[in-house]
Amino acid sequence: MSRRALGTAVAVAALLTACGGNSNNTGSKPRTITVFAAASLTNAFAAEAAAYTKQSGVHVRFSFAGSQDLVAQLNQGAPADAVATADTATLGKLTVHLSGATTLFARNRLVIVTAPGNPKHIRSAADLAKPSVVVVLAAPTVPAGKYAVKALQAAHVTVHPKSLEDNVRGVLTKVELGEADAGIVYVTDAQSAGAKVGTVALPTSPIATYPAAAVDAAGQGFVDFLTSPAGQAILARFGFLPPR
Amino acid sequence: MTNVTTIDLRASVGTFTVHVAAECKPGDVVAVVGPNGAGKSTFLRALAGLIPATGTLTVGGVDVLDRPPARRHVGWVPQDGALFPHLTALDNVAFGLRGRQGRPAAQRWLDRLGIGDLAHRRPAALSGGQAQKVALARALAREPRVLLLDEPLAALDVEARTDVRRSLRAHLGDFDGVTMLVTHDPVDVMTLASRVLALDAGAVVQDSTVTGVTTAPRTPWLAALMGSNGFYARTAAGALALDGGGVLVAADMPAGDGVDVLAVVPAHAVAVHRGRPEGSARNVWPATVRDLAVVGGRVRVTLGGAPTVLADVTTAAAADLGLAEGVDVWASVKATEVTVVVL
Amino acid sequence: MTRTRPPLSLTTAAVAGAAFLLLPLVSLADRTPWHSLPHLLTTTSAVTALRLSLECSLGALALSLVVGVPLAWLLARVDFRGKSVLRAAVTLPLVLPPVVGGVALLLAFGRHGVIPLSLAFTTWGAILAEAFVALPFLVLAVEGALLGIDERYDDVAATLGSGTTRTFFRVTLPMVLPALAAGSALAWARALGEFGATITFAGNLPGSTQTLPLDVYLTLQNDPDAAVALSTLLLALSLVVLVAMRSRWRLTR
- Rounded to two decimals, the ipTM of the complex is 0.79
pLDDT band at B244 (very low <50, low <70, confident <90, very high): confident
Alpha-carbon span C217 to C198, nearest angstrom:
12
- Do the Cβ atoms of C155 and B69 come within 8 Å? yes
pLDDT band at A19 (very low <50, low <70, confident <90, very high): very low
Question: CB of C243 within 8 A of CB of C182?
Answer: no
Query: Cβ neighbours of residue C118 under 8 Å, at least 6 residues apart?
Result: C110, C111
Best of C150, C153, C154, C160 to mutate (most B CBs within 10 Å, chain B): C160
| HSE toward the beta carbon, residue B225, CA cutoff 13 A | 28
Residue among C155, C160, C175 minimizing CB distance to B96: C160
Alpha-carbon span B202 to B222, nearest angstrom:
15
Best of C9, C28, C107, C123 to mutate (most A CBs within 10 Å, chain A): C9
Question: CB of A165 within 8 A of CB of C199?
Answer: yes
Alpha-carbon span C231 to C251, nearest angstrom:
31
Max Cα-Cα span within chain C: 67
- Do the Cβ atoms of C121 and A162 come within 8 Å? yes
CATH topology of domain A108-207: D-Maltodextrin-Binding Protein; domain 2 (3.40.190)
The answer on pLDDT for B320 being more than 70 is: yes
Query: Cβ neighbours of residue B238 under 8 Å, at least 6 residues apart?
Result: B249, B253
Alpha-carbon span C143 to B17, nearest angstrom:
32
The answer on pLDDT for C248 being more than 70 is: no
Domain with CATH 3.40.190.10 in chain A: 29-107+209-237, 108-207
CATH class of A29-107+209-237: alpha beta
pLDDT, mean of residues C40-47: 84
Check residue A54 and give its pLDDT: 93
Q: What is the mean pLDDT of chain A?
A: 85
Nearest to B202 by CA among B9, B61, B58: B9
Strand partners, B253: none
Residue among B70, B74, B87 minimizing CB distance to C162: B70
Check residue C2 and give its pLDDT: 53
For residue A171, the surrounding DSSP H or E stretch is helix A168-176
Q: Would you call A136 an interface residue with chain C, using a CB distance cutoff of 8 Å? A: yes
Check residue B5 and give its pLDDT: 85
User: Euclidean distance between the first and final Cα of chain A, in Å?
Assistant: 69
pLDDT, mean of residues A20-34: 56
Check residue C236 and give its pLDDT: 86
Residue among C156, C163, C170 minimizing CB distance to B82: C156
Domains of chain B by residue range: 5-215, 227-342
Check residue A184 and give its pLDDT: 95
Cα separation values, A51 from A15, A45, A216, A232, B176, Å: 38, 10, 21, 12, 98
Check residue A5 and give its pLDDT: 47
pLDDT, mean of residues C16-32: 89
Alpha-carbon span C54 to A228, nearest angstrom:
53
A163-185 pLDDT, tens digit per residue, is: 999 888 889 989 998 889 999 99
Alpha-carbon span B67 to A152, nearest angstrom:
74
- Looking only at the bridges linking them, the beta strands covering B271-273 and B260-266 are unpaired
Alpha-carbon span B3 to B59, nearest angstrom:
7
B279-309 pLDDT, tens digit per residue, is: 777 899 999 999 888 877 788 899 998 899 9
Best of B86, B87, B149 to mutate (most C CBs within 10 Å, chain C): B86
- Range of weakest confidence among A7-16, B188-197, C190-199: A7-16
Alpha-carbon span C213 to A166, nearest angstrom:
12
pLDDT band at A13 (very low <50, low <70, confident <90, very high): very low
3-state SS of chain C is: CCCCCCCHHHHHHHHHHHHHHHHHHHHHHHHCCHHHHHHHHCCHHHHHHHHHHHHHHHHHHHHHHHHHHHHHHHHHHCCCCCHHHHHHHHHHHHHCCHHHHHHHHHHHHCCCCCCCCCCCCCHHHHHHHHHHHHHHHHHHHHHHHHHHCCCHHHHHHHHCCCCHHHHHHHHHHHHCHHHHHHHHHHHHHHHHHCCHHHHHHCCCCCCCCCCHHHHHHHHHCCCHHHHHHHHHHHHHHHHHHHHHHHHHHHHHC
The answer on pLDDT for A10 being more than 50 is: no
Check residue A26 and give its pLDDT: 44
* Domains along the sequence of chain C with CATH: 37-252 (1.10.3720.10)
Query: Cβ neighbours of residue C19 under 8 Å, at least 6 residues apart?
Result: none
What chain C residue is nearest to B141 in terms of C-alpha separation? C160
SS3 B109: helix
pLDDT band at C249 (very low <50, low <70, confident <90, very high): low
Check residue A163 and give its pLDDT: 92
Check residue C235 and give its pLDDT: 86
Alpha-carbon span A47 to A225, nearest angstrom:
12
Question: CB of B165 within 8 A of CB of B1?
Answer: no
Check residue A29 and give its pLDDT: 55
Check residue B2 and give its pLDDT: 57
| Domain at B227-342: CATH code | 2.40.50.100
Alpha-carbon span B191 to B31, nearest angstrom:
10
Name the interface residues of C facing B (CB cutoff 8 Å).
150, 152-153, 155-163, 170-171, 174-175, 177
- In angstroms, what separates the C-alpha of C145 from chain B's closest C-alpha? 14
Check residue A99 and give its pLDDT: 85
Strand partners, A63: A36
Comparing B33 with B255, the larger pLDDT belongs to B33
Strand partners, A106: A210
pLDDT band at C250 (very low <50, low <70, confident <90, very high): low
Comparing B256 with C131, the larger pLDDT belongs to C131
Check residue B156 and give its pLDDT: 87
Check residue C253 and give its pLDDT: 41
Q: How far is CA B189 from the centre of its chain?
A: 5
- Do the Cβ atoms of A162 and C107 come within 8 Å? no
Measured between beta carbons, the chain A residues lying within 8 angstroms of C209 are 163
pLDDT band at B158 (very low <50, low <70, confident <90, very high): confident
Q: What is the mean pLDDT of chain C?
A: 87
Measured between beta carbons, the chain C residues lying within 8 angstroms of A141 are 218-219, 221-222
- Domain B5-215 CATH (choose: 1.10.1740.10, 3.90.226.10, 3.40.50.970, 3.40.50.300): 3.40.50.300
pLDDT, mean of residues B178-183: 93
What chain B residue is nearest to C173 in terms of C-alpha separation? B86
Nearest to A51 by CA among A39, A40, A63, A59: A59
- Do the Cβ atoms of C103 and A72 come within 8 Å? no
- Do the Cβ atoms of C106 and A1 come within 8 Å? no
